[in-house]
Amino acid sequence: MSRSPLALAWRRFAQNRGAVVGLAILLVVVLVAVLGPTLMPQSPWRMVGRPFLPPLTDAALPLGTDAVGRDVLTGLVHGARVSLLVGLVSTLVALLIGVPVGALAGYFGGWVDDALMRFTEFFQTIPSFALAIVLLAIFQPSLFWIILTIAIVSWPPVARLVRGEVLSLRTREYIEAAILSGQTSLQIIIRQVLPNALPPIIVLASLMVATAILLESSLSFLGLGDPNVMSWGYMIGAARTVLRTAWWLSFIPGIAILLTVLALNLIGEGLNDALNPRLQRREE
């Protein structure tokens, strides 16, 4: 009986019950993010009712209203799109920085490796959250800068992972064959080395999306979010001062962040089972 590698991977993924639950949760969040703003086209910033309406009291505003009468459900739905977008795009940008750095360091070794790894280590040592705050305070907190900032503070683990993979792959015979057949270094890195290093990169990337969402919400909580975009972190930050009187305003968006991040972590573990079947499950 022959099965495609993809089908085998899916079977291993599906055997991890947590991963399937995570996938289900994430699908719901993605659906909300994609369809929600179309179904609830009104601006999340608009006043729609009296302030501090508790949840489950008005059928038209099921999750109630915030301190200035904005609909919590609309904010939640619009926030889903922002969280996923920032998580996904900033991870892609971090890969764009980390993969080349790691690949070059691992492939060429010597002083290139030395210099690039010192650079990586520097970024890994400095307190990344404080750096993110400084960057966003100095440049304007717009979606563009938020994504770039998150990418800047989260690429080092990618570089280290890719470097390790490349180091272990580059002594393989098929790489030597590629060198002998006259392929350039760039061709070898892109066509031979990186495709084989892909599985652990995918696992790491899924976990990075989760971390990026946490980071975005923390920055918005501190008031460093894009002022034109409704996000879950902003909702909690705005409700912080009314915690005593309207706790649900902080509670509800927090649950949304928690579920999304949890789902992504569970999926990451499932992907690890599916793509690295020989490896023990390890913490990165």
Partner 1 sequence: MARFILARLVKAVFILLAILVLNFSLIHAAPGDPASVMAGEAGATDEQFLEDLRRRFGLDQPFHVQLWIYIKGAVQLDLGYSYRRGMPVADLIWDRLPATLLLTATAFVISIVFGVIAGVAAAARQGRWSDSIISALALLFYATPLFWVALMAALLFSVVLGWLPGFGYETVGANYTGFARALDIGRHLVLPATTLGLFFTAIYVRMTRASMLEVSRLDFVKTARAKGLSPGVIQRRHILRNALLPVITLAGLQAGQIVGGAVLTETVFAWPGIGRLMFEAISQRDYNVLLGVFFVSAAMVLLFNLITDIVYVIVDPRIRITE
Q: Note whether 129 binds partner 1 by CB under 8 A.
A: yes
Phi, psi of 47 (to 5 degrees): -75, 130
Among 14, 20, 88, 131, binds partner 1 (CB under 8 A): 131
Structure tokens at 220: 């918005």
For position 217 contacting partner 1 by CB under 8 A, the verdict is: yes
**What mask, x for binding partner 1 by CB under 8 A, covers residues 31 to 50?**
--------------------
Of 53-61, 64-72, 177-185, 214-222: span binding partner 1 (CB under 8 A): 214-222
Stretch of residues binding partner 1 (CB under 8 A), selected from 101-109, 142-150, 181-189, 216-224? 216-224
3-state SS class at 126: coil
Build a one-symbol-per-residue string for 89-128: x at contacts with partner 1 by CB under 8 A, - elsewhere: ---------------------------------x-xxxxx
Determine contact, residues 165/106, Cβ cutoff 8 Å: yes
Structure tokens of 204? 């790491």
Contact between 221 and partner 1 per CB under 8 A? yes
Amino acid, res. 23: L
The span from the CA of 215 to the CA of 131, in Å, is 12
Distance of CA 21 to the CA centre of its chain: 18
Secondary structure letter of residue 40 according to DSSP: S
Distance CA 54, CA 56 (A): 7
Quick check: 223 binds partner 1 (CB under 8 A)?
Answer: yes
CB of 41 to partner 1, least distance (A): 28
Q: Nearest distance from residue 132's CB to partner 1, in Å?
A: 8
Nearer to partner 1, 186 or 279 (CB): 279
71 three-state secondary structure = strand
Q: Which of 210, 229, 271, 274 binds partner 1 (CB under 8 A)?
A: 210
Q: For residue 70, which phi and psi values (nearest 5 degrees)?
A: -85, 145
Nearer to partner 1, 38 or 125 (CB): 125
Integer Cα distance of 106 and 120 in angstroms: 13
Among 97, 236, 274, 275, binds partner 1 (CB under 8 A): 236
164 contributes a contact to partner 1 by CB under 8 A: no
Q: Which residues neighbour 117 within 8 Å (Cβ) at sequence distance 6 or greater?
A: 105, 163
- 13 or 221: CB nearest partner 1: 221
**d(C-alpha 269, C-alpha 78), whole Å:** 28
Residue type, 199: P
The window from 70-78, 91-99, 182-190, 242-250 that contacts partner 1 (CB under 8 A) reads 242-250
Q: Give residues with Cβ within 8 angstroms of 196, minimum separation 6.
A: 165, 169
Of the residues 65, 91, 120, 265, which one makes contact with partner 1 according to CB under 8 A: 265
In the complex, the residues that contact partner 1 under the rule CB under 8 A are 18, 122, 124-131, 133-135, 137-140, 210, 214, 217-218, 221-224, 233, 236, 240, 243-244, 247, 250-251, 254, 257-258, 261-262, 265-266, 280-283
